[in-house]
């Protein structure tokens, strides 16, 4: 196929190509947002668990006297 034949296909199907590109961008953005929120939630849980098991918290005095 020559370049002009490809160009003719592109001119006829530009709406379909644009719809596919827009859907791809929207779905990848949604997927990124969902993964980002999930990783943020998991990292908060990890920090919380790490803080509970830290030796300084276990060995800390329960009173505020110096």
Condensed to tens digits (0 to 9), the pLDDT of residues 12-61 reads: 999 999 999 999 999 998 988 888 777 665 555 444 444 555 555 545 55
- What does the pLDDT read at residue 33? 86
Task: Indicate the domain borders of the chain.
Answer: 3-52
For residue 61, report the phi and psi dihedrals to the nearest 5 degrees. -75, 145
pTM of the model: 0.49
Residue 66's CB is within 10 A of a number of other CB atoms, namely 4
- What does the pLDDT read at residue 35? 82
């Amino acid at each position: 196929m020559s370049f002009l034949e490809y160009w003719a296909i592109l001119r006829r199907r530009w709406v379909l190509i644009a719809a596919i590109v827009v859907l791809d961008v929207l779905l990848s953005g949604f997927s990124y947002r969902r993964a980002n929120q999930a990783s943020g939630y998991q990292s908060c849980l990890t920090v919380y668990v790490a803080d509970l098991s830290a030796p300084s918290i276990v060995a800390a005095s329960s009173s505020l006297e110096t």
